[in-house]
Amino acid sequence: MTNLADSVNMGKIGKDGHLNKQGKSKQTTYLGELEMKSKKGFTLIELMVVVLIVGILAAVAIPILRGRIDAAKWSEGKAMMGTIATAIRAYHADKGPVIGLEPTDIVGTGDRQLGFLAEDLTGTYFSFGDFALTAVAMDPLTFTITGTVGGGGGSGQPPAHPGAYSLDNFGTFLVTIP
């Protein structure tokens, strides 16, 4: 049997009544403590904070991504406008700077047409009806090509913004309001 004096000199007596000679008492784990330690997870507040943060990020990201999608769609229209500009330069090189021989139409093979077929300028988001020639002069060569959303309609959903671009003879794209 161990007495109190022995426990002071040799170690401590734990809650269970056993002597621990290293100076540490053994502690009994109670059922309530075991249940509290085994419950792990997130509280409702923590989950609500995460949902709030994700919602804020989505609200910021969606308009940015929408603008990128429209810019990607307009790249098709700008490429077509560049092709038309190249055809105007080739037309000018073929006909010379003669006033009165300006091209009047993009599609067609007549004397004052650029020689495109309708299928040549039909893409996913734009078609030949979306483009128009304006301010074409032969001496000196000046022109403006305007591409407008939805004029002829391609097979896909056209970009929402901006409504139109213009390409001038210097190769500069400008946002225009149709």
Q: What is the pLDDT of residues 13-65, one digit of tens each?
A: 666 665 555 555 455 555 555 555 666 888 999 999 999 999 999 999 998 88
Q: Is the pTM of this model over 0.75?
A: no
User: Per-residue pLDDT averaged across 92-105, rounded?
Assistant: 89
How is 2-34 classified by DSSP, letter by letter? --HHHHHHH-EE-TTS-EETTS----PPPHHHH
CA distance 115 to 151: 20
Ramachandran sector of residue 84 (left: φ over 0; alpha: ψ -120 to 50; beta: rest): alpha
Q: Does residue 11 sit within a domain?
A: no
CA distance 55 to 47: 12
Q: Give Cα 103 to chain centroid, integer Å.
A: 38
Q: Does residue 31 sit within a domain?
A: no
Domain that holds residue 89: 68-176
Q: Into how many domains does the chain fold?
A: 1
Query: Tokens 């988001």 belong to which residue?
Result: 125
Higher-scoring residue by pLDDT: 176, 48: 48
CA distance 61 to 170: 35
Q: Does residue 4 sit within a domain?
A: no
Q: Does residue 159 sit within a domain?
A: yes
Q: Give the CATH number for residue 73.
A: 3.30.700
Residue 119 in tokens: 């299928």
Q: Does residue 147 sit within a domain?
A: yes
